[in-house]
Amino acid sequence: MSPANSAQPKARELLLSPLDNHQLANLCGALDENLRQIETALDVSIARRGERFTLRGESGQTERAATALEHFYAQAKDGLSVDDIQLGLIELLNRPVRHLSRAAGGAAPALITKKTELHGRTPRQVDYLKAIQEHDITFGIGPAGTGKTYLAVASAVDAFERELVQRIVLTRPAVEAGERLGFLPGDLAQKIDPYLRPLYDALYDLMGFERVGKLFERGAIEIAPLAYMRGRTINHAFIILDEAQNTTPEQMKMFLTRIGIGTRAVITGDVTQIDLARGQKSGLIEARTILNGVRGLAFTEFLKEDVVRHPLVARIVAAYEAHETAAGNAREGNNHGR
């Protein structure tokens, strides 16, 4: 074989069966959009003639693409959206989570929300959901996009729907506003709204806009700026403290001691995105040091591999990382040459 031929990407043939044209059309999507998503995520090319697919790329990637196509074809009877493809690819790239969970001695937690297929997509997300269900206080720490806030809200909705708690309480420090919070227009809820928007969006997604509005009116869902929680004891509730990296040690201790009978709390944050004043210690970092190992508490540390994002973003991030590494090596070479 000539060097030119050996450099060509290997072809992997795949025949999907039994043939069902409706199912095949759902798999491919409008204008083959679903296939394009798989190509982008796995860095392969896909050619199709009927139910026969030719996959080209690195051998490991073509095998993954073949697995993905078989997986999605089996799910395609009722239709596949781009969201289904993107989330399914994340799950496949992080190994078959639900199978691994069963092998470890228990199925991934099932949540009662408007989204019936909601579940952990990576092993750490599954561990996080289990920790929330099994502990009164759970910390979810990691970069943006890992699902720590969304899954916390989903767990709160699940506990509320099962009548394990009587209300949901959302809170976070309004560090960006500082002492200027009083100058923002509107009542207290309207002042704090911009800071709780990610929590609101998750609630609307998981319960529906109208139902969330009615629950706010009844007081079954409450927003509570962290500074206003001092002196309270909250019973029979599910409390979420978001952006906890921006709490001071005093605020974190105050929050943790507000938890009353029948209450479950989830604290989320990203210790690489601290907006506190220079020299101010983060209450989340201190809590992780002091409380790690305390019985009844759980800590889940998310990594960049747990980020749930558009498949193209993974390749963009990889390209930037490669560029930064090359630039760093070049600077190091220049310094040695002097």
Q: What is the pLDDT of residues 115-137, one digit of tens each?
A: 877 878 788 999 999 999 999 99
- Residue 150's pLDDT is 92
Please tell me the distance from the alpha carbon of residue 253 to that of residue 255, in angstroms, as a whole number. Answer: 5
- The mean pLDDT value of the chain amounts to 83
User: Does position 252 have pLDDT exceeding 80, yes or no?
Assistant: yes
Domain boundaries, the chain: 3-83, 97-307
Reading across the β-sheet that carries 221-223, which strands appear in turn?
221-223, 167-171, 237-241, 264-269, 137-141, 297-301
Distance of CA 145 to the CA centre of its chain: 5
Please tell me the distance from the alpha carbon of residue 201 to that of residue 209, in angstroms, as a whole number. Answer: 9
Please tell me the distance from the alpha carbon of residue 133 to that of residue 127, in angstroms, as a whole number. Answer: 10
Residue 306 token pair? 């747990």
User: Does position 272 have pLDDT exceeding 80, yes or no?
Assistant: yes
User: Does position 336 have pLDDT exceeding 60, yes or no?
Assistant: yes
User: Does position 6 have pLDDT exceeding 50, yes or no?
Assistant: no
CATH topology classification for 3-83: Ribosomal Protein S8; Chain: A, domain 1 (3.30.1370)
Worst-scoring range by mean pLDDT, 46-55, 64-73, 176-185, 223-232?
Answer: 176-185
Average pLDDT estimate for 78-85 = 83
Please tell me the distance from the alpha carbon of residue 335 to that of residue 284, in angstroms, as a whole number. Answer: 39
Vertex 216: Cα angle to 215 and 222 (nearest 5): 115
* CATH-assigned architecture of domain 97-307: 3-Layer(aba) Sandwich (3.40)
Percent pLDDT > 90 in the chain is 43
188-204 confidence digits (pLDDT tens):
666 667 777 888 889 99
Q: Answer positive or negative: Cα dihedral of 98, 102, 106, 107.
A: positive
Contacts for 39 with CB less than 8 Å, ≥ 6 apart = 45, 46, 65
Per-residue confidence at 223, pLDDT binned at 50, 70, 90? confident
User: Does position 84 have pLDDT exceeding 60, yes or no?
Assistant: yes
Question: SS3 of 74, please?
Answer: helix
Per-residue confidence at 244, pLDDT binned at 50, 70, 90? very high
Average pLDDT estimate for 163-177 = 83
86-102 confidence digits (pLDDT tens):
878 877 776 544 444 43
Contact 150, 266 (CB under 8 A): no
Per-residue confidence at 107, pLDDT binned at 50, 70, 90? low
Residue 315 token pair? 């390749």
User: Does position 147 have pLDDT exceeding 60, yes or no?
Assistant: yes
Contact 12, 67 (CB under 8 A): no
Please tell me the distance from the alpha carbon of residue 37 to that of residue 29, in angstroms, as a whole number. Answer: 10
User: Does position 83 have pLDDT exceeding 70, yes or no?
Assistant: yes
293-325 confidence digits (pLDDT tens):
898 899 999 987 787 777 666 667 667 878 888
Residue 214 token pair? 């009615």
